[in-house]
Amino acid sequence: MQLSREEFWALDTTIQWNCFLPLPYLNRLDADVFFNKRRHHGLSTNEVVDLILCMQKRGDLVLFRKTDDMFSEQKYEHPPRSPGDRTVLDFTSVWKNQTIYSKAAIFEDFSIHTEYERRNKNVPHLEPERYPKEILMYCASVQGAEKWETTAQVDWNKYIDCSAGWIDDADLADNQAIWHWRAAAPSEQVLDAYFDWKLRWGAHPDSWETSSIRRYHTERIAPWKATYWKTFPEGFECDFTEYTVRRERMNKEESIRHRIFEEQSWSEHHALFDWCNQYVRDFPFEDD
């Protein structure tokens, strides 16, 4: 069974990130920009709520309120010892014990989010108040993800997953950072192509930051859990650290060159590694 455009829209937002997200994000006026979609889902608030409840009752979407002990924390070591312990979120306990929420409860969460956005509208993006902890979260169930996969015509040979953690180092300047990454893919060739892209574009003169990368050994994992709902007979993982230096400021000419560079860089990245043949974070529907 394939999904409708609206159902696909709701599932795609969380599956593409391989995570859970605050439910009110689906009701943002700028949801198309926020999720990097070509079009808005076009639904009113009432229609969004009806869609969410329908998908939850059918078993395609999971709603829950996150607690501090719900998911294991991903730990990063520096320097990395070895790959193989990439954390893949497991929503099994959430699925078994989830609550079917009422329309009134969802509308209340939307109101809390709207008020939060209003209060933080003119606050610098690094200084907003903490997002409401009690807000409803959503993710795709295994059933919903499998429907998404069928509709999207996924090419898993292009799949790559990267998770990152910032390493605190008091000796670094404000514009410097060290990141620890864990990359995973179904083949070593995909990982090699990914690092080739990272190295070339990380050293590009028009980038907003320059980076140097140290890659550690690649390990074969069997069986390999690509996502919380998809497992393959084998996959490959490796760790790497990235030292970055951010440019303090750009003049107008440099900003234009940087914007062109970014478009070229991400176009190449999506061409190499996007999950699906027909779209990039977009709809696999002909009339879109």
Residue 127: pLDDT band (50, 70, 90) is: confident
How many whole angstroms separate alpha carbon 246 and alpha carbon 227?
A: 32
Q: How is residue 206 written in tokens?
A: 């028009």
Q: Report the C-alpha gap between 182 and 273 in whole angstroms.
A: 16
Pick the CATH number of 157-273 from 1.10.10, 3.30.1490, 3.30.70, 2.40.50: 3.30.70
* Cα–chain center distance at 157: 19
Q: How many CA atoms lie within 13 A of 150 on its CB side?
A: 10
Stronger pLDDT, 275 or 218, i.e. the higher one: 218
Which residue in this structure is represented by tokens 């980038």?
207
- pLDDT, one tens digit per residue, over 131-174 is 888 899 999 998 999 999 988 888 888 888 887 766 666 677 77
Judged by DSSP in three states, 82 sits in coil
**Per-domain residue ranges of the chain:** 5-77+87-152, 157-273
Banded model confidence at residue 280, pLDDT cuts 50, 70, 90: very low
pTM of the model: 0.79
Lowest mean pLDDT among 120-129, 170-179, 223-232: 170-179
CB-facing half-sphere around the CA of 101: CA atoms within 13 A? 25
Q: Which 3 state secondary structure label does DSSP give 72?
A: coil
CA distance linking residue 252 with residue 185, whole number of Å: 38
Q: Are 205 and 137 in contact (CB under 8 A)?
A: no
The DSSP element (H or E) to which 10 belongs, if any, is: helix 5-15
CA distances for 166 relative to 71, 101, 150, 152, 284, angstroms: 19, 36, 35, 33, 35
How far is Cα 108 from Cα 86, in angstroms, rounded to an integer?
A: 36
Write down the pLDDT at residue 54: 94
Backbone angles phi, psi at 23, to 5 degrees: -60, -40
Q: With contact defined as beta carbons under 8 Å apart, do 162 and 76 qualify?
A: no
Q: Are 217 and 82 in contact (CB under 8 A)?
A: yes
Digit-coded pLDDT (tens) for 23-35:
999 999 889 888 8
Within its chain, how far is the Cα of 24 from the centroid? 17
Q: What is the pLDDT of residues 201-256, one digit of tens each?
A: 777 776 766 777 888 778 898 999 888 888 999 999 888 888 777 777 777 777 77
Question: Distances from the Cα of 146 to the Cαs of 22, 66, 153, 260, in angstroms?
Answer: 22, 24, 11, 36
Angstrom distance (rounded) from CA 224 to CA 236 = 8
> Of 181, 182, 180, 186, nearest to 220 (Cα)?
186
End-to-end CA distance of the chain: 20
